[in-house]
Structure 1
Amino acid sequence: MAWMFASGHAVDIVLAVILVELGWLVGRAKWTLADAVMRLAPGVLMLIALRAALTGLDWRWIALPLIVSFPVHLADLARRTRAK
């Protein structure tokens, strides 16, 4: 199991599950694609940062998706607040 984390494949599996979840939300739960993407994007970005850290990439490749995830999260919150 250690090789799955060292290679980042554990994160790839989680990202694949999130992709399936996106399909389910749009197809069965009747969410719009924009709503589903906005809700899932911050977590996906944090997972990308985790994958970068696990595979030993430079700190900039770890920090960039983490930094981007926060404004995306705020945009999602603002969008949901306006919808109410």
Structure 2
Amino acid sequence: MVAIEAAALFAWMRRRGRARLAWSLLPNLASGACLMLALRAALSDGWWGWVALCLAGALAAHVADLAGRLRDR
């Protein structure tokens, strides 16, 4: 579902002439996807390492998002 959402957002923003803004949403979408994967792993009694890796991925995506926002300032 996240991939479908991303494709729809990219298509809509490209059509409106804001392709650069669409790329800035990528870390935000990635962090959401990692959080959903961590939740799925936790609820399905997955190995704790998968949950930790997904959470670390979400953290990395959030840090990348914050760095991009600070750089644009």
Shared fold (TM-score, shorter chain, > 0.5): yes
The equivalent of 1:63 in structure 2 is 52
CA distance in 2, matches of 1:68, 1:19: 17
Q: Which runs of 4+ in 1 moved over 4 A?
A: none
Per-residue CA deviations over 1:14-73 (Å, capped at 9, x if unaligned) read: xx1x22220121111234463232121111101001111121111111111102211220
Structure 1 length-normalised TM: 0.68
Q: Gaps spanning 5+ residues in structure 2: where?
A: none
RMSD: 1.7
Query: Quick one: percent identity of the two aligned structures?
Result: 34
The two structures have a TM-score, normalised by structure 2, of 0.77
- Give the count of matched residue pairs: 68
Give the aligned residue type for 1:56.
D
Give the conservation status (yes or no) of the 8 Å contact 1:26–1:36: no
Partner of 1:28: 12
